[in-house]
Amino acid sequence: MEKPTLVVEGKRLDGRAFDQLRPIKMKAHVINAADGSAYVEWGDNKVLVGVYGPKECLPRHMANPYKAIVKCRYSMAPFSVLEERIRTGPSRRSTELSMVIRQVFEHTMFLEAYPETEIDIFIDILQAGGGTRCAGITAASIALADAGIPMRDLICAVSAGKIDGQIAVDLSKDEDNYGEADVPVAIAPRNKDILLFQMDGLLTRDEIEHMLDLAYSASSVINRMQVDALKEAYSGERTEAVLPL
């Protein structure tokens, strides 16, 4: 397919400003069976996260006597993309993403409080629309909080990038595919620590600085929504979990 024009009269393809997020919906407690769960709709992305643990670490030889171990699986549903069906099972991409996401939460959780145990994070992309790892991290934080696992912060993630020469936040699928650079970042809102940073494309130092500033402002909006989603799930009686797909 030919590269579409990504910026028309100072606006992006979907009419957004450069510092504007796509519409986002978040809900905690969506899987009855899980210890914690969350669902995030972010633009065209639909992401489901289930969390189990801390629980007995299996196999036993993987257990750490000083802290909990974290297992993370990022996975895309076969029907999550408009293009050809995705084969089931891990790919090289999903293996890498599972690892970098796991590392975000290894930093964030108080793992030393739960020696000999494991904490499982399962991120399932039911529909993909650009920025699935960021939506996944944002949803996983809500699910971990829903599971009552103590954390240093409620991590959120967003991508920034360069499209038709302009720096923009929260790239859509087309902007990611046809833009010049894509930079997903995960941020701890309280102390502004960066816990995930990946980049492909060509950027100057100043462009990276501009992107981080955009990502920081977006992260405060996202963080507020995460808190609201948790407050909603815990404000009344604990009811049956319903996935608002």
Q: Which residues of the chain form contacts with another protein (CB under 8 A)?
A: 31-34, 37, 44, 46, 48-50, 52, 55, 73, 77-85, 88-89, 120, 122, 124, 126-129, 240-243, 245
* Run of H or E residues at 140: helix 132-146
Closest CB to another protein among 2 and 240?
Answer: 240
As given in the structure block, the two tokens for residue 35 are: 């210890």
Closest CB to another protein among 125 and 185?
Answer: 125
Name the minimum Å distance from CB 24 to another protein.
17
**In whole angstroms, how large is the CA radius of gyration of the chain?**
18
* Paired residues of 118 in beta bridges: 55, 69
Name the minimum Å distance from CB 70 to another protein.
14
Q: For tokens 């972010």, name the residue.
A: 42
Closest CB to another protein among 125 and 167?
Answer: 125
Closest CB to another protein among 25 and 152?
Answer: 25
Closest CB to another protein among 111 and 123?
Answer: 123
Name the minimum Å distance from CB 111 to another protein.
20
Q: Amino acid identity of 73?
A: R
| Strands of 36-42's sheet in order across | 24-28, 36-42, 45-56, 117-127, 69-76
Strands (E), 64-198: 69-76, 117-127, 156-163, 166-169, 181-188, 193-197
As given in the structure block, the two tokens for residue 237 are: 């009686």
| 147 closest CA partner among 25, 26, 29 | 29
* In contact, 8 and 137? CB cutoff 8 Å: no
Name the minimum Å distance from CB 161 to another protein.
22
Phi, psi of 93 (to 5 degrees): -65, -50
Name the minimum Å distance from CB 40 to another protein.
14
Name the minimum Å distance from CB 142 to another protein.
14
Closest CB to another protein among 147 and 158?
Answer: 147
